[in-house]
Amino acid sequence: MITDRRGVLYVVGTPIGNLEDITLRALRILKSVSLIAAEDTRVTARLLARHVIDTKCISFREQNAKRAILQILEQLETGASVALVSDAGTPSISDPGEQLVAAAAAANIVVSPIPGPSALAAAMSTAALPGDGVRFIGFLPRSGKDRKRRLRSTAMDPSCTVIYESPHRLGNTLVDLASVCGATRSAVVFRELTKLHEELARGTLKELADRFANNVKGEITIVIAGAKTIDAEDISNEMLSELVANEIKRGRSAKDTAASLSLSLGIPKKKVYTVAVEIIGRNRDSQS
């Protein structure tokens, strides 16, 4: 009987700050695998030293991803199991890892998640803001049309929106959010979650923009309350077209787009469907 003797790629969640926030299962996996693929080996070395783990580490980051993926796949193909970790939190969520996971899956290698800390989950568990579900953006585009489009769609979304941001861009992002979402929209800024200088700041977007106008330090997560349905009903034709176009780019049909946006924005399904069909038709004409 022939068996698949290839290794397993474990996607391991690690602490987002406090090194005690790691599961027993994660520690067992990190000890048992043949190799750990780490975003920054120096950061991971501190975690391993804390828990007396001497597993070999290699660097896996955006800059060396292509070369590292080949090396890791070779290890997996020969039967060695590998743990993928980021500097903090869960890999592949606004962190390196998506390419490696995709390559392993394409090679029919077993990929196993080892759940752990996540700034997204930690923030939402304590934000206590109104919203119809959760929408995770990760990092906003730094500038241009894509940034404006993301901000406008956030303004109209009834879901709570979670954004990761760098400390030196926090002030400008809060000003932009206050401009498009309204100065009085409620939000929470989390700084240095689980760390010694953890800070949780609640207020309106205008209040938070004023509070964090000067540069701050640390890892930042922003949670924004969802738009009220009454606001969503006032969406302009231009904004609706952008939202519909975004859904179509993700591969959704006109029917699915209409069902989703009409429910979340509180506007007639027929109106959304008509816009979706028009956009799909224009896309086909431009490709012919």
Closest CA to 273 of 255, 249, 261, 260: 255
Band of residue 196 on the pLDDT scale cut at 50, 70, 90: very high
Same domain, 110 and 162: no
Cα→Cα distances 278→104, 244, 245, Å: 39, 10, 10
Shared domain check, 208 and 170: yes
Q: Are residues 132 and 103 in the same domain?
A: no
Is residue 148, in this structure, part of any structural domain at all?
yes
The helix (run of H) or strand (run of E) holding residue 36 is strand 35-38
CATH of the domain at 217: 3.30.950.10
162, containing H or E segment:
strand 160-165
Q: Is residue 1 part of a domain?
A: no
The domain of 245 spans 235-287
In a domain, 176, yes or no: yes
81 in Cβ contact with 32 (< 8 Å): yes
Non-local (6+) Cβ contacts of 116 within 8 A are: 12, 13, 14, 15, 21, 22, 23, 26, 89, 90
The answer to whether 37 and 101 are in contact (CB under 8 A) is: no
- Angstrom distances, CA of residue 164 to CA of 26, 158, 174, 241, 253: 24, 19, 12, 26, 30
- Look at residue 4 in the predicted model and tell me its pLDDT: 63
In a domain, 4, yes or no: no
Q: What is the mean pLDDT of the chain?
A: 90
Give residue 237's pLDDT. 81
Give the number of residues written for the chain: 288
Looking at 228, 250, 278, the residue that finishes a domain is: 228
Count of structural domains, the chain? 3
Last residue of a domain, one of 85, 117, 149: 117
pLDDT digits (tens, 9 = 90+) for 148-179: 888 988 988 889 999 999 999 999 999 999 99
Last residue within a domain, chosen from 65, 84, 117: 117
* Predicted confidence (pLDDT) at residue 230 exceeds the cutoff of 60: no
Q: Is 210 inside any structural domain?
A: yes
Name residues whose C-beta falls within 8 Å of residue 214's C-beta, 6 or more positions apart in sequence. Answer: 171
Q: Are residues 109 and 67 in the same domain?
A: yes
Identify the pLDDT of residue 62.
Answer: 84
**What value does the mean pLDDT take over residues 180-185?**
92
Adjacency order of strands within the sheet including 57-59? 57-59, 35-38, 82-85, 9-12, 111-114
Q: Which of 131, 136, 105, 109 is nearest to 120 (CA)?
A: 136
Residue 65 placed within a domain: yes
Say if residue 22 is in the same domain as residue 78.
Answer: yes
pTM of the model: 0.75
Query: For 82-104, how does the pLDDT look when each residue is reduced to its tens digit (9 = 90+)?
Result: 999 999 999 988 777 899 999 99
Segment (H or E) for 234 = none
Q: Is the pLDDT of residue 233 over 60?
A: no
